[in-house]
Structure 1
Amino acid sequence: MQLIVLLGLGFTVVSCRGPSVSRISEAQKRTVDVVFEIDLNQEVYQASSYGKPPQMAVWIANPDDQSIRTVMVTYHAGACDWGGQVERAVALPYWVSYYNRQTGTSGPPTKEHPAPDAVTYATPKTHLTVVTRVPEGSCWNYFIEVNVSGDFNADFPKQPKNGHTDRDGNGQPSLVYGGSIEAVREAVSQPTVLGHTDQYEPTSKLTEGTGGLTTALELLKSMKVFCR
């Protein structure tokens, strides 16, 4: 079996050994927990213009049946509740593109139609652990998107650039990490950078690489994805 991770500009194919055909039905009767453990760098986001923790989303996608599952999304983005401040459509746009496919919707969640409470989490300040249960032996692509507002730098400035205005106060765009994992106990996967989105407009495509990003690369101290 092979997993295909969509990068926006192309595909990365990662091998993933699954159960034999004769064992699929039996294996899918059992389940495995996929665990995401993420440590945040508090000093980095506190140094941004607003000093607020980043918005985050974690989701998985099954390349066999094309199913998508949001594991978690932070409250502000998931409930469209920005505390009276401007709504930030560019906060987690890559997750939104998958969420739309998952739910048959268009655009980010709204106050009238928020993401389900079951996947909406308080914004973590130092650490996040989330768990999702999947059939044993199944293979998944996983994604982690993170974005802190107001982390401007020379390449992603606060002032207008090339006719664009950062009306959402975004600064450096969201950064997306990802990988693949087979749902067998004790499996471990290390997320890697897939790319970033856009400072000014929500997009469903990723720009490969990390050009121009500085502190955004330091937001997450460590990440670990494993099965138990």
Structure 2
Amino acid sequence: MKSCKMITASVTIALLLAASSNCVDDRQVKKEGQGTGPVLIEFEIHQDMGLIRQSLFGEPPQFAIWLEDAASHRLQTVFVTYRSGYGEWVGKVKCPAALPRWFEVFKSETGSKELPDFDSPASDAVTGATPVVEEFKTTVEFPFGGKWICWIEMNLSGDFNEAYRAHDIERRKVDVYFSGQPALVYRGRVTALPGEKVRPELYGESVLGSDGGVKIQPVSEGVTTAKDIFKTIEIRVDER
């Protein structure tokens, strides 16, 4: 009898160890992204409506969100505000200084040599109304486990200050696009695993050169209120 009990106990322990081992393996497989489905990546932005109302036009900023594959560097737009995505500028034919870097992303994605316009706009799947309230959220579906660089570009039109004036007499310069302070670029790295949380940080400013080229450079000392238009930016990854 004692021998049977010992055998039974040994079998039970072996089964428990096997079950425990399987659980560990499952977690490891899930962590590595093998045999798993897509996840949801949520972007949440809070705007300072008080600062926005102090600008010349009092309208919320134009902005775009896109992801860059950390390995292949392939670019994919997640969201862009309507005016930038459709090129619908009041009183202006085009406004290349609005979101200089994203316009390059648009050209890369579409193969176009021109800025988006009503005839050749950004996809409706990524274009949305310019948020007129403090909180903005959008969610996209991406493969499990992917590693991405998240980029966000923002520009508040008419946010003039001492360094960025509508008419700079001393420099004999006129801001023909009424851009005010330059577009700012935020960056963060995110891995598409449930529970991941990232807060992108201010990375630089995107500048449109006289030759039409675009460069991202450190934020100039003259940039003031533009840095506070987005109070918080957070990216969260959840299960689908």
TM-score (norm 1): 0.83
Paired with 2:85 and 2:206, the residues of 1 have a C-alpha distance of: 18
Does the residue aligned with 1:205 lie in a helix, a strand or coil? strand
RMSD of aligned Cα (Å): 2.0
Which aligned pairs between 1:44-193 and structure 2 lie closer than 5 A?
44-85=51-92, 87-125=94-132, 126-160=134-168, 162-193=171-202
Which aligned pairs between 1:3-82 and structure 2 lie closer than 5 A?
26-27=34-35, 29-82=36-89
Runs of 5+ unmatched residues, structure 1: 1-18
Deviations 1:109-130 (A, max 9, x none): 1121011111111001222111
Does the residue aligned with 1:196 lie in a helix, a strand or coil? strand
Q: In the superposition, relative to structure 1, how do residues 220 and 43 fare at CA in structure 2: closer, same or farther (>3 Å)?
A: same
Q: Which amino acid aligns with 2:151?
A: F
Q: Which amino acid aligns with 2:228?
A: E
Paired with 1:89 and 1:179, the residues of 2 have a C-alpha distance of: 25
**Is the Cα–Cα contact under 8 Å of residues 166 and 200 in structure 1 kept in the other structure?**
no
Cα shift at 1:82: 1.8
**Is the Cα–Cα contact under 8 Å of residues 173 and 199 in structure 1 kept in the other structure?**
no
Q: In the superposition, relative to structure 1, how do residues 148 and 203 fare at CA in structure 2: closer, same or farther (>3 Å)?
A: farther
Q: In the superposition, relative to structure 1, how do residues 189 and 203 fare at CA in structure 2: closer, same or farther (>3 Å)?
A: farther
Deviations 1:61-119 (A, max 9, x none): 10223321110100011001123445321101111112211221223211210111111
Cα shift at 1:164: 3.3
Paired with 2:224 and 2:236, the residues of 1 have a C-alpha distance of: 28
Task: Name the count of aligned residue pairs.
Answer: 206
Ranked by relative contact order (alpha carbons within 8 Å, sequence separation 6 or more), the top structure is 1
Q: Which amino acid aligns with 1:212?
A: G
Runs of 5+ unmatched residues, structure 2: 1-27
Paired with 1:199 and 1:40, the residues of 2 have a C-alpha distance of: 25
Does the residue aligned with 2:114 lie in a helix, a strand or coil? coil
**Is the Cα–Cα contact under 8 Å of residues 171 and 199 in structure 1 kept in the other structure?**
no
Q: In the superposition, relative to structure 1, how do residues 88 and 178 fare at CA in structure 2: closer, same or farther (>3 Å)?
A: same
Percent identity at matched positions?
A: 31
Does the residue aligned with 2:234 lie in a helix, a strand or coil? strand
Q: In the superposition, relative to structure 1, how do residues 199 and 105 fare at CA in structure 2: closer, same or farther (>3 Å)?
A: closer
TM-score (norm 2): 0.79
| 1:212 corresponds to which of 214, 222, 226 | 222
Bigger mean CA offset, 32-41 vs 58-67: 58-67
- Larger % of helix: which? 2
